[in-house]
Amino acid sequence: MKFQAPKGVSEYVPPRSRAFEWTRDTLVSAIKHSGYQLVELPIFEDTELFTRGVGASTDVVSKEMYTFEDRGGRSITLRPEGTVGALRAVIEHGLDRGVLPAKVFYVGQFFRAERPQAGRYRQFYSVGIEAVGIDDPALDAEVIAIAYAGFRALGLTKFHLDITSLGDASSRAAHRVDLMKYIGTLDLDEATLARAQLNPLRLFDDKREEVRSLMAGAPILMDYLSEYSRDHFAAVRSHLDDLNIPYVINPRMVRGLDYYTGTTFEFVHDLLGAQSGIGGGGSYSGLMEEIGGQSLPGIGFGLGIDRALLAAEAENVVPVDEFASDLYLIPLGVAAKSVALGISESLRGSEVTCEIAFGDRSLKGAMKGADKSRARFVIVLGDSELESGTFELKHMASGATSSVTLTTLVQTLQQALSVK
């Protein structure tokens, strides 16, 4: 039987895995330079953490979670997103009781039972940040700027930023009254009406064309913002203007999670078709206490590594970074293998990529292996080389050779590798 990866899994193998690694590390670098520190989180959590935190009205909770019962009879769910797990860790380990904002980031796999398509996977990769404990428009702008800097560092240019405000509690309460009146006039199925009772904003996020058409005339939350929410959102936009970060105000954007309040944003790439979102996030108040913590605000984002890579490939900005060994050792005989192992360990400690031709191949076959590894240099270790302690270091591109000893190999090779 031939096994295959599960359907809908984003799996990366060489050579494309190098492009995935570059995408992930570039996004993480922009985050680290902003003072965020890593939290390494579990892939599964108590199911209730997500039902309470993400929201029962969302598709994520109602349709897309991978939930199972463990051997102890506990309901466990593979993490569908990063924020609530990160906040659970912040609360559990007291990070919210130190210097605020508590600034953390996470990276890894997430899981949603969705219909697989290009850019939409059942297992996908994200990098995200959370800044907890401070309500400041400047912090909102900085969080957006970090994501923007990450995408720009990838070389992306064909994307835009959508922003909106989902207001504070009083804004949403006033809007809900009129929105529910409007929804009451629509011809909707029972499931959709039940969803609206939990959170009527979810209907703005409905993907069905008939619902989108019905909601075209619905009252917009931004028209109900309190004075505080209007001023806060204006300040965020002013900071983005000062940072020269372009944006489009999208008053109908609600995103797919219930915990967002206030500033909400999404980055959309113009070349990715239906699955065009490459990252987004927003602020949240009430989420911390909903999952058992203090009443503290927060803001964060999640950036899709898979989609960012697709965007980079669409724009043809992925660097040509083929795998290449610095040195390929070809041992001829048992004694030579022991010497080759010692040399390779010494070189790897000096940050030199070194491979050995294993398997007792002929010299001709081993040289083919060196070619496949795109090795810059090759050393053949035969009886005469072991006896003399002198080896010929061959530069594969030019064919030039130079004599080295064990004591001079590291220095000679590092100098040769430094020449581009």
327-417, what's its fold? Rossmann fold (3.40.50)
String of DSSP letters for 121-188? -SEEEEEEEEEES---HHHHHHHHHHHHHHHHHTT--SEEEEEEE---HHHHHHHHHHHHHHHTTS--
Give kind and range of the element (H or E) at residue 48.
Answer: helix 47-53
Write down the pLDDT at residue 248: 97
Q: Where in the chain is the domain with CATH 3.40.50.800?
A: 327-417
Provide the residue-wise pLDDT of the chain in tens; the chain has 420 residues.
899 999 999 899 999 999 999 999 999 999 999 999 999 999 999 999 999 998 877 778 878 999 999 999 999 999 999 999 999 999 999 999 999 999 999 999 999 998 888 888 999 999 999 999 999 999 999 999 999 999 999 999 999 999 999 999 899 889 989 999 999 888 888 888 888 888 888 888 887 888 888 888 899 999 999 999 999 999 999 999 999 999 999 998 887 677 889 999 999 999 998 889 999 999 999 999 999 999 999 999 999 999 999 999 999 999 987 888 999 999 998 999 999 999 898 888 778 899 999 988 888 999 998 998 899 999 999 988 888 989 999 999 898 898 999 888 888 888 888 765
| Total residue length of the chain | 420
Element (H, E) at 410: helix 406-417
Q: What is the DSSP letter of 114?
A: -
In which residue ranges of the chain is CATH 3.30.930.10 found? 16-168+226-314
Q: What is the pLDDT of residue 411?
A: 85
Choose among 283, 279, 277, 285: nearest CA to 300: 283
- As a whole number of angstroms, the distance between CA 141 and CA 329 comes to 52
CATH architecture of 16-168+226-314: 2-Layer Sandwich (3.30)
Q: How are beta strands 327-331 and 354-356 bridged, if at all?
A: parallel
